Structure 1
Amino acid sequence: MTETAFFLSPAALTSLVFGLALLANVGVKLWLATRQIRAVARNRAAVPAEFSQTIALDSHQRAADYTVTKLRFGLLELALSAAVLLGWTLLGGLDALNAALLSVFGPGYPLLQPLALLAAFALINGLIDLPLALYQTFVIEERFGFNKMTLKLWLADLVKSTVVGCVIGLPLAALALWLMQATGSLWWLWTWGAWMAFSLLMMVIYPTVIAPLFNKFQPLQDELLQERVTQLMARCGFAAKGLFVMDGSRRSAHANAYFTGFGAAKRVVFFDTLLAQLTPPEVEAVLAHELGHFKHKHILKRIVGLFAFSLAGLALLGWLSNQPWFYAGLGVTPNLPPQMGGVVPNHALALLLFALVVPVFTFFLSPLMAQLSRKHEFEADAYAASQANAQDLSNALVKLYKDNASTLTPDPLYVRFYYSHPPASERIARMGGKIVPA
């Protein structure tokens, strides 16, 4: 056997690295999920001592069952997503779809064929995910009393989201493809600029144009709560365009509150389910926590980080799109047929391959991102304790964990890897609150 027999071609090496990374990805996710299932099931029989006076055993067991059910369903989703990913890449699904559309449109449509490829890919993936979404909503969420949607409303949301996606996504994709073809070797920089401009625009128009298509937003009517919230925002130096209540109960029993918008378009939104569960002082404390994110510039830092990662990712894609082994190693033919005396790259193939493959590798950065997010949550809690009442925030956290059926006994390693928010016991202990009976 000659020495050269031990060397792999760049394409074969790409296939091997991707396969090993996918195997490691699935293996780690499976390991972490089984750890979490065992930890929650092991502690199902008794409420943690610090919560024993606040959380009833049946609520604790409901949360445990809900968590385990979602995790087991997640294992099915994990297996399916891995199979679909292999089908699109190494098994040739994306290459076959591209060839089929090329035979329909021919080489004379350098923009239409790639755009059709992106649309067809999104449609097929959406159809694959549809049964899972239906099961999660109408079986799992229904079983635990969270789903409030009818099938008619679910279908209406699906139609609306599809239409909005087409109206916004297709022109944006066409612009990106045109920039990739028309701006030379620095197409990735122009595309990044267009993407950032679009992202900022969406922050402005989403609250007033898109969100109302799915939910009703009414001005906050509770005068006592409105006064408390207004005084809190004045103390914190925060200005919002309005305080709104969203009909979250129309779809789910889960509760939340959030800020949306950008610049002068910022608004405070409360789920009606949140207002039904918490007292005015507790709502004020939750809002103070959200204001803490703005005080510490967490939102701005995340936006800047997103922009930086997007720039780095597109720069990497700009290089990979010119490497034949990147395509061949992932199961696709890299170029359209020659036309006009040259070879025209199919940038849609590069975009799709990159979007499929990158999450396999960036998954291993999850612990770092989760740790940073938990740090931000602790900082926001500390700010809330300084501007409102720490005990009110502690009480609100316990109620939200109870009403949302969040487990109080997660596996520590699972927490460190996935949790964007620290467990309730850690948050309450850190800000000096107590777990008291409701």
Structure 2
Amino acid sequence: MSKKWSIAALLVYVVYAIGMYFYIFHGPSGGVPATLKGTVADPQTFMTERELLLSDDFSKIRNYLFFIITPFEWLVYILIMFTGLSRIFEKWADSRWKLIKNGAYLFLLYLFTTLIFYPIDLYRYHLSKEYGISTQEFSSWMKDFVIDFWVNFGTTLIVVLVLYWLIQKSTKKWWFHAWLLTIPFAIFMMYIQPVVIDPLYNEFYPLKDKELEAKILSLADQADIPSEHVFEVNMSEKTNALNAYVTGIGENSRIVLWDTTLNSLTDEEILFIMAHEMGHYVEKHIYIGIASYLISILVGLWLIAKLMPWIISRFGSVLKIDKVGDIRSLPLFFVLVSFLLFVSSPLSNYISRYQETRADEYAMELTGSAEAAVSTFQNLAKAGLSEVNPPWLVKIFRYTHPPMLERINTIARYTDTKKEKPEQEKDADDQTETESEKEKQTKPKTE
């Protein structure tokens, strides 16, 4: 029975992968609408012919990898259960101490899946190098890969040990208790991210350009954002892409600029990017994000708590799982988490794109420089070989930011609105003056 299910799962995945191949490489392309041909939003006006070709090829490959890797992850975990490999891991991890057993099982599972996905990660690294995005040496990439392994394993270990301890204590309410613990854990991770985790990968230091720092802090002061220092990070040894962000909470919050951004953009363009990040702060997006994250975790854990017992009761013999509290059920838990994240990504991405649009609009309000905004987006697209107008399916599943075509149009609409307002105000003033003159002419004279 398990063999038949394994073959069926493989066939379904192969059919899906072939279907996605034809959609990505031979399906409808986003392209540029006829009304925007030749405008500042048209990549042909700011990208060379070679950049356009590379952008098209690179985007299609990345999009295809995105759509086949996540289902491949589900397939790997399903086969681990179907083939009995999960039971073998449990046997190797056997210990009289439950925590040690669960921790050892997770390590074996995590190591195995890391090795399975290593060729894909390596291919993505070489792909990025081939298209000129990555500048990172292989030794540096391997160092980051190893750091990733231990950081992710460490955080996952904490989650799994607590999770299965809660399942043992309360088979019905474990999901709610796990959610309650998620709140302080998430806040703690956000607090230590800038000062503990990020420095493991890159070197952070105060912005060297003090004149630019003064401009950024002045902008932050206009937005009523408490900030004392701006940091730059050495990313040019790893990438040609551009980025800037605000990270952390409380006293560990900081504004961070990649050195590639500092080296490639003008001060006006950098200030626009900073104003965009400040827009997230002013619009309370970080708090909305935390609230959305906690709500989604609550709903997700509740769904998993309902689905796992049902799946095990129906297919437990095939999956070789006796009950939810068995550590052998962990691959099933990972599959459900990954699946729920994938199917909910269109909604979360939509919310994120809306927030990014609001941040762009705020940046325009704060800086008032449409030229800097347009040139910033054009440079970002060139540096990252971005697809300015992706196909619909790619957009809803992949894009947390609006495509560059939409972002440049946002600037254009903002500029048009600003131009219309003074004219409307002028027309209103003229109308008022005309009505005033009429009143004077019709007003009866008095002796």
1:62 alignment partner in structure 2: 54
- Pairing of 1:26-425 with structure 2 (within 5 A): 29-30=20-21, 32-34=23-25, 39=29, 48-50=37-39, 51=42, 52-74=44-66, 78=68, 82=71, 85-89=74-78, 91=79, 93=81, 96-106=84-94, 108-138=96-126, 140-183=127-170, 185-240=172-227, 242-323=229-310, 325=312, 328=315, 331-335=318-322, 345-360=324-339, 363-388=342-367, 389-425=369-405
Paired with 1:256 and 1:49, the residues of 2 have a C-alpha distance of 27
Three-state SS of the structure 1 residue aligned to 2:390 is coil
- Could you tell me whether the CA contact under 8 Å between 2:243 and 2:257 is conserved in 1? yes
The Cα shift of 1:229 comes to 0.3
Three-state SS of the structure 1 residue aligned to 2:232 is strand
Three-state SS of the structure 2 residue aligned to 1:249 is coil
The Cα shift of 1:334 comes to 2.8
The Cα shift of 1:66 comes to 2.1
Paired with 2:123 and 2:214, the residues of 1 have a C-alpha distance of 42
Paired with 1:370 and 1:83, the residues of 2 have a C-alpha distance of 22
Structure 1 range deviating more: 255-264 or 146-155: 146-155
Three-state SS of the structure 1 residue aligned to 2:178 is helix
Structure 1 range deviating more: 57-66 or 18-27: 18-27
Q: Could you report, residue by residue, the CA deviation over 1:172-228 in whole angstroms, capped at 9, with x for unpaired residues?
A: 432332232234532222222222221110111111111111100010011221111
Q: Could you report, residue by residue, the CA deviation over 1:58-112 in whole angstroms, capped at 9, with x for unpaired residues?
A: 322222232234345556xx1x6545533532x4536623321343355844333
Gaps of 5+ in 2: 416-447
Paired with 1:327 and 1:115, the residues of 2 have a C-alpha distance of 28
Paired with 1:129 and 1:390, the residues of 2 have a C-alpha distance of 43
Q: Could you report, residue by residue, the CA deviation over 1:353-410 in whole angstroms, capped at 9, with x for unpaired residues?
A: 1321344355344333332222112111110110012321121111111121112343
The Cα shift of 1:236 comes to 0.7
Three-state SS of the structure 2 residue aligned to 1:39 is coil
Gaps of 5+ in 1: 1-13, 336-343
Structure 1 range deviating more: 347-356 or 101-110: 101-110
The two structures have a TM-score, normalised by structure 1, of: 0.81
Q: Could you report, residue by residue, the CA deviation over 1:286-323 in whole angstroms, capped at 9, with x for unpaired residues?
A: 11111111222222112111111111222223334444
- Could you tell me whether the CA contact under 8 Å between 2:81 and 2:320 is conserved in 1? no
Q: Could you report, residue by residue, the CA deviation over 1:126-158 in whole angstroms, capped at 9, with x for unpaired residues?
A: 1111111112112x1111122221121122222
1:10 alignment partner in structure 2: none
- Could you tell me whether the CA contact under 8 Å between 1:334 and 1:346 is conserved in 2? no
Paired with 1:411 and 1:355, the residues of 2 have a C-alpha distance of 29
Percent of aligned positions with the same letter in both sequences? 26
Higher relative contact order (CA 8 A, sep 6+): 1
CA-atom RMSD in angstroms:
3.3
- Could you tell me whether the CA contact under 8 Å between 1:241 and 1:264 is conserved in 2? no
CA distance change for structure 1 residues 252 and 221 in 2, over 3 Å: closer, same or farther? same
CA distance change for structure 1 residues 126 and 391 in 2, over 3 Å: closer, same or farther? same
